[in-house]
Structure 1
């Protein structure tokens, strides 16, 4: 008996692109029906996907593509993986911004400042924060957009802006 390269438990439909050899006749049998079924299944799924794709020429006329200015314009489909990844990223960045605010508070407490204003110089914050993350400037911009911190200037640069005061607003 010759050795069979395919498992005997598989049917010809489960192995569509490979050949099976019959030990007795040594004939090559290719499952064309299995390949045809798989191709047809893929074709139907792809056509349905293209009907929902706003950039495809095969869109359904009843699919409403959001226009600029509408609430869902530029947003992923509800319940999609893209929407979930966006929510996860937003949570992660919000956590990092909160950690940045905590670091600013800690540095201010070490400074023994008098008064209610919590502030730190950018150079001091950069020296302390460089061991935590390499995204300090981006996080500061995000925190300013959320009105958590205030600093002068549009962008902060290491060395040039080391004496710029960053004030914690909340």
Structure 2
């Protein structure tokens, strides 16, 4: 059929093909192992991912209606940051009340048959004085009103528009 030379060449080609096939099979095996490693690592990561459906909470999470629901875990950094923020805001509210005492006008209020001394200040005057101290005066005023320390009309105060709104220091 063919010459001896052609037979030898065909055998060499078959050997090369079988080597390539072996290399291909080896690389597929390597790909499979790499894929499996990635898959195992990803599954492990997903167990700790709070947004994954595979998450198994390691700590009992409070349910609606329980006292701890919507609160950070006790002893966590989140709880500590919240406490620090509360302390900081409380200091700012106290500082605002002190500024109102210093620049406000004393007056009298008739409350339940007795005279009470109150301190009032217009928002514009307070804004001009307090703007050098803090740029969040309105937020601090809203917090102070929520705590029952000051009172003013309206839901929100705007510079310019509400400069003549009277702010009353209650305590």
Q: For 2:57 and 2:144, locate their aligned partners in 1 and report how far apart those are by CA, in whole Å.
A: 43
Shift of the 105–49 alpha-carbon distance from structure 1 to 2, 3 Å rule, reads farther
Q: Secondary structure at the match of 2:167?
A: strand
Give the TM-score normalised by the residue count of structure 1.
0.63
Give the TM-score normalised by the residue count of structure 2.
0.63
Instruction: Confirm whether residue 119 of structure 1 aligns to residue 120 of structure 2.
Output: yes
Asked if structure 2 preserves the Cα contact closer than 8 Å seen for 1:104 and 1:125, the reply is yes
Question: Tell me, which stretches of 5 or more residues in structure 2 are unaligned?
Answer: 1-40, 109-116
Asked if structure 2 preserves the Cα contact closer than 8 Å seen for 1:118 and 1:168, the reply is yes
Q: For 1:54 and 1:72, locate their aligned partners in 2 and report how far apart those are by CA, in whole Å.
A: 19
Asked if structure 2 preserves the Cα contact closer than 8 Å seen for 1:54 and 1:65, the reply is no
Question: Tell me, which stretches of 5 or more residues in structure 1 are unaligned?
Answer: 1-42
Runs of 4+ in 1 over 4 A off after TM superposition: 46-49
Q: For 1:158 and 1:61, locate their aligned partners in 2 and report how far apart those are by CA, in whole Å.
A: 48
| Structure whose alpha-carbon radius of gyration is higher | 2
Q: CA RMSD in A?
A: 2.5
Asked if structure 1 preserves the Cα contact closer than 8 Å seen for 2:149 and 2:170, the reply is yes
Asked if structure 1 preserves the Cα contact closer than 8 Å seen for 2:46 and 2:52, the reply is no
Greater per-residue helix proportion: 2
- The size of the alignment, in residue pairs, is 122
Alignment of 1:16-165 (within 5 A): 50=48, 55-60=51-56, 63-108=59-104, 111=105, 113-115=106-108, 116-165=117-166
